[in-house]
Amino acid sequence: MSKPSDLIQGTLDLLILKTISLEPRHGWAIAKRIEQVSNDVFQITQGALYPALHRLEQQGWIRGEWRTSETGREAKLYALTKAGRTQLEKELAQWERLSSAVALVIGMA
Amino acid sequence: MNPRRWYSVIGMRLRAVLQRDRVERDLDKELRFHLQQQIEENVAAGMSPDEARYAAMRRLGGAEQIKEECRDMRRTAYLEDLGKDLRYTLRALRKSPGFAVAIVLSLGLSIGANSAIFSAIDGVLLKPLPYPRADRIARLFFSSNEYPEFSLNPFDFRDLRVRAHSFEALAAFTRGDVQLSGSGEPVRLAAFRVTAGYFQVLGLVPALGRAFEEKEELPGNGRVVVLSNRIWRTQFGAAPDIVGRKITLDLQPFTVVGVMPPGAEHPGNEYHALPYGDSVDAWWPFTFEGDPSQRGSHYVEGIGRLKPGVTPAQAQAELNTLLGEIGHEHGGYGGWHMLVIPLYREIVGPDERMLLVLLGAVGLVLLIACANAANLLLARATARQREIAVRMALGAARARLLRQMLTESLLLALVGGGFGALLAPGGVRALVALLPAGFPRADSIQVNASVFGFTLLVALAAGVLFGLAPAMQSSRVDLQQALREGARGATGSRHHQRLRDALVVAEVGLASVLLVGAGLMLRSFVNLVRMDPGFRPEHVLTASLSLPDTDYKTSAGVAHFYDQLVANLAAAPGVKAAGAGSDLPWTGYDENDGGFTIEGEKPAPGEEFHARYHVATPDYFRALGIPLVRGRFFTEGDRTDAPNALIVNETMARVYWRKRDAVGGRVAFSDNPKEKDWMTVVGVVGDVKDRPDAAGAEPAFWWPMLQVPFAQMSVAVRADSGAAQLANELRREVHRLDPTLAVADVRLMDQIADAGVSTARFAFFLVGLFAGLAITLAAIGTYGVISYSVNQRTHEFGMRMALGAGRRDVLRLVLSQGVRLAMAGVVLGAAGAAILARVLRSLIFEVSPADPLTFAAVVALVLAVAVVACYIPARRATDADPMVALRSE
């Protein structure tokens, strides 16, 4: 299980933003989704996930709302806000720049 | 950041603070949901329900830790901490209310004083002048080395106005009071004669009607007037149809062409000065009369509005070039040039320094109050050292402790500031009431938002200032030391004691600086009051009269009126002597003449004879108590058919006749006098200075009123006692001769003399008040530190006495500790004062800024205060019980 520090700070934010950009999800679903899509490379612990969610919410990029989930229990669903969508685009662009730069350097060597 | 996001962010934070419980419940629910999901997944994977639960909980990790991290993300911790700090502070303060009250009182008093002085600075120096783009308005003077700010000749002004390009508008003005009659007793209006551009220069637009036009400057066209809003309301009932109406001024019909809006303020003037502000009743045109080739008389004052981008210096350079041309056309103005001064400088210049000195003085008082507060906090911090050490040992962060201690000092400072803000309005009212006569812009001094803003800033700065040092000190405790010492109650570390001593030395030093300032002001004030004014102001009533030239067409008529008036007044019961003169002592100078001839004497090279000139009736000097030194006063015999007579003052006799006796000397007012032009000096009278704080008297002479009658005169009546009761008698006598005359400026000579020293009294009173506050605070500070140290050393004193020291020895020991601190403070303070006192030079009178008496007195006073402040703790030290000390050893 990878520890949260294995994720570059900010990468988790990006993953969360991306994951809820299609539809609102609750914390459990977000973690599950990231694990699935990354073929279990990323294992998101609650200790990392919930502080990150609360931080993003405090910054106004995502908004949590209580809804009744498919299992009939009340769950807090997080959705992107308008500002969050802009932020996601910004972070995606930055990530692409960064990763292609890293790829270049690695390819050179 | 877009505003929508700001809303949600602020909303979040508020919710986090205000609905803390709800947010916490939600977090709990959220984490429980997660756990539930995990359990279900585990069950789905084939675990038993119990197994699934344990595995899920293991996976989740410490729920409390996650919650804490989530709380951190809410970033409300600092607010919660602040609440805790405040509660803690309030609890601590409630436990020692004396401490809190002492700090709040001393801070509040000094912050209130700062706010009051700041409000004066704000109103007088910072608030823009009440004219649009006032920074472009400048005063114009004719200037020489001897007379830096002299009036202009009207025709010179007119030539400059035509030729100069630096100004949008230029105007000349001169005092020209008029008498308004028509209904009831005539009133004298404070009025100015102004050229056409005057209101344009000031940027003032009439509320009704129009301003003056240039054609009204022509002789015969000047019978129009613009009224002030005040006169329009009080004298004409704010009649809306006033424009076009004819009113009677100086018994002549004038047409009202305009009414100014309220707040059309007078920019100040020199000649027959009227105070700044809403002081003018009416304006009427200045008309250029007489021969334009005669340019000897200077009596108009210049003012101009600079074009955008033109500096006063550039304008002055242009005017000087033009003055050179004009001088060339009219015989030269050797030694004279033009001076252009921004209006703001001209108005506040002389008083700026005094206000800044006062601000400096209250600033020092505040610093002392801060040092005092720091000392008290430090003493408490020392007492709390063990508690702090325990908290640090238990893991409290240093920054957290610092913040808690700063919270305490800021809270005290803010309460002190609030108290100061409550005091400020009263302080400002008292300050304005104390202001010397004619203080510029006194009417714009008030407590407003910027004063409260200043108060808040000062309070915050003070809180940080006096809180930081003790907080830094005590958060730097040596844990081991403090915890070990704790066994016997923490003793102040050597470090703390040094800081406390330094604070006391600083307090005493600052107080000494203020005391030196106050001492110099006191000496200066005493010098002024004890100075022989050259006249006797007691029991003298004065008033001023102006005879309209329509009714008094000949000088014989004017002479007859005043001759008759003073004769009638002298005969009234209770009157000792009655006279009239062109002016009164200590009211500045009215007229100065240069270039006359003295028989058998030559002026110093490059200079000319000059003197203040006046007119007096025979009993003018007796009425005012101006002594005769040699020769005689004027008599009824000094009339037009008698030889021309002259009285000079001592300075003129001494400076111009040097070794010879001035009596019998002759003076003429033409370059090549014929026999009939000579005037013979018949008497020498004592000197009277222009103003009480002038360096010395100027040469001056008087013409006999009967030979040179002036239409505008001041009457002085000396009574046996109770001069004020003569006011009605004076009015009755004037109206018996001429019922249409206005009797203006009825004042006691005492009031005039008092106004002359009011600036010195104001400065001394305030600086003295601040110095008194400062030394009291410093004494409290010294007392506190010595008292604290005595408490700490009780054991030591007990031991000393057990070993044979007498009570006197212990007393001396403690006193010498206090005196040493005070000595260090007063030496540093005196050194500082010696440097700072130089800025007072222009504010003090006949005292050197390094006056040894003042410095010696301050040193003695400070040491005496220190001894008194240390005496009580020293007495307590002698009560130390040797037995207790021995037993505890």
Percentages of chain A per state (helix, strand, coil), in multiples of 5: 60, 15, 30
Handedness of CA A46, A48, A52, A55 (dihedral sign): positive
- The average confidence (pLDDT) of chain A is 82
Q: What are phi and psi of B682, to 5 degrees?
A: -105, -15
CA neighbor of B247 nearest in space, from B195, B304, B189, B202: B189
**Chain centre distance of CA A37:** 12
Write down the pLDDT at residue A2.
Answer: 39
Name A67's Cβ contacts closer than 8 Å, sequence gap at least 6: A24, A74, A75, A76, A77
Number of domain units in chain A? 1
A83 and B CB contact within 8 Å = yes
Give A5-45 pLDDT, tens digit per residue: 445 656 888 889 999 988 888 888 898 888 888 888 888 87
Which residue does chain A place closest to B34, by CA atoms?
A: A28
Whether residue B4 lies within 8 A of chain A, CB to CB, comes out as: yes
The predicted-structure confidence for A33-89, as pLDDT tens digits, reads as follows 888 888 888 888 778 888 888 888 888 888 888 888 777 788 888 999 888 898 899
DSSP for residue B617: -
pLDDT number for residue A7 = 56
Contact between B455 and B143 (Cβ < 8 Å): no
Domain assignments of chain B as residue spans, ordered by start: 3-75, 80-130+349-488, 151-335, 493-531+755-889, 552-739
Mean pLDDT of chain B: 85
**pLDDT score of B1:** 53
* Spans of chain B below 50 pLDDT: 486-490
Q: In this complex, is the C-beta atom of B881 within 8 Å of any C-beta atom belonging to chain A?
A: no
User: Domain range for residue A87?
Assistant: 4-108
Contacts of A50 in chain B (CB under 8 A): 27, 30-31, 34, 66, 69-70
Residue among B745, B523, B555 nearest B639 (CA): B555
- Summarised one tens digit per residue, pLDDT across range B529-538 is 888 889 999 9
DSSP B67-104: HHHHHHHHT-HHHHHHHHHHHHHHHHHHH-HHHHHHHH
Which pLDDT score is estimated for B260?
94
Q: What is the pLDDT of residue B265?
A: 86
To which residue do tokens 């002048």 refer?
B129
Q: Locate B668 and state its tokens.
A: 């003429």
Work out the minimum CA distance from A47 to partner chain B, whole angstroms. 5
Query: Predicted ipTM?
Result: 0.85
How far B888 CA lies from chain A's nearest CA (Å)? 57
CA B693 to CA B846: how far, in whole Å?
9
pLDDT of residue B488: 47
Contacts 24+ apart (CB under 8 A), B633-640: B633/B683, B633/B685, B634/B682, B634/B683, B634/B702, B634/B704, B634/B705, B634/B706, B636/B706, B638/B682, B638/B704, B638/B706, B638/B707, B639/B704, B639/B706, B639/B707, B640/B556, B640/B706, B640/B707
- Give yes or no for a contact between B8 and A80, defined as CB atoms under 8 angstroms apart: no
Sign, Cα dihedral of B609, B615, B618, B623: negative
A43 Cα distance to chain centroid: 12
Task: Give the amino acid at B102.
Answer: A
Residues of B in contact with A45 (CB under 8 A): 59, 61
Nearest to B598 by CA among B696, B664, B697: B664
Pick the residue of B35, B70, B75, B78 with the most A CBs within 10 A to test the interface with A by mutation: B70
**Which pairs count as long-range contacts for B586-593, CB under 8 Å and 24+ apart, including other chains?**
B586/B533, B586/B688, B586/B689, B586/B690, B586/B691, B586/B692, B586/B752, B586/B753, B586/B755, B586/B756, B587/B752, B588/B273, B588/B690, B588/B691, B589/B690, B589/B698, B590/B271, B590/B272, B590/B614, B592/B147, B592/B698, B593/B669
Q: Which chain A residue's Cα is nearest to B32?
A: A75
CATH number of A64's domain: 1.10.10.10
Which chain A residues have a beta carbon less than 8 Å from that of B38?
A: 28
Q: Report residue B715 as tokens.
A: 């009457």
Chain B nearest CA to A66, separation (Å): 9
Q: Is A71 on the interface with B (CB under 8 A)?
A: yes
Contacts of A63 in chain B (CB under 8 A): 8
Q: Are B179 and B742 in contact (CB under 8 A)?
A: yes
Q: How many CB atoms lie within 10 A of CB A9?
A: 9
Inspect the interface and report whether the beta carbons of A26 and B31 lie closer than 8 Å: no
B65 touches chain A (CB under 8 A): yes
Helix H, strand E, coil C: the string for B337-394 is EEEEEEHHHHHHHHHHHHHHHHHHHHHHHHHHHHHHHHHHHHHHHHHCHHHHHHHHHC
Kindly report the backbone phi and psi dihedral angles of residue B339, in degrees, each rounded to the nearest multiple of 5, phi listed first: -125, 130
Of the candidates A50, A63, A66, the beta carbon closest to that of B31 is on A50
Cα B874 to Cα B775, B788, B822: the distances in Å are 20, 11, 15
DSSP element (H, E) containing B311: none
DSSP B842: G
CB distance from B850 to chain A under 8 Å? no
Q: Chain A to chain B, count of Cβ pairs less than 8 Å apart?
A: 75
How many angstroms separate the CA atoms of B303 and A38, rounded?
83
The minimal CB distance from B66 to the residues A50, A59, A82 is found for A50
- Search chain A and give the residue with CA nearest B11: A58
DSSP B114-152: HHHHHHHHIIIIISPPSSTTGGGEEEEEEE-SS-SSBPB
Cβ contact B31:B60 at 8 Å: yes
Partner-chain contact B8 A63, CB within 8 Å: yes
Interface contact flag, A54 B73, Cβ < 8 Å = yes
What letter would DSSP give residue B486?
Answer: G
Contacts of B670 (CB under 8 A, 6+ apart): B597, B677
B75 vs A contacts (CB less than 8 Å): 58
Q: Where are the alpha helices (DSSP H) in B384-478?
A: 385-393, 398-434, 449-475
DSSP at B690: S
CA distance A9 to chain B (A): 15
Q: With CB atoms and an 8 Å threshold, state whether A83 touches B4.
A: yes
Strand B252-259 with B224-227, pairing: parallel
| Inter-chain residue contact B5 with A83, CB threshold 8 Å | yes
> Which of B4, B34, B69 comes nearest A27 by C-beta?
B34
In whole angstroms, give the CA distance from residue B455 to residue B126.
16
C-alpha distance from A108 to closest chain B C-alpha (Å): 39
Query: Under DSSP, is residue B680 helix (H, G, I), strand (E, B) or coil?
Result: strand
The single-letter DSSP state of residue B846 is S
Parallel/antiparallel/unpaired status of strands B252-259 and B246-249: antiparallel
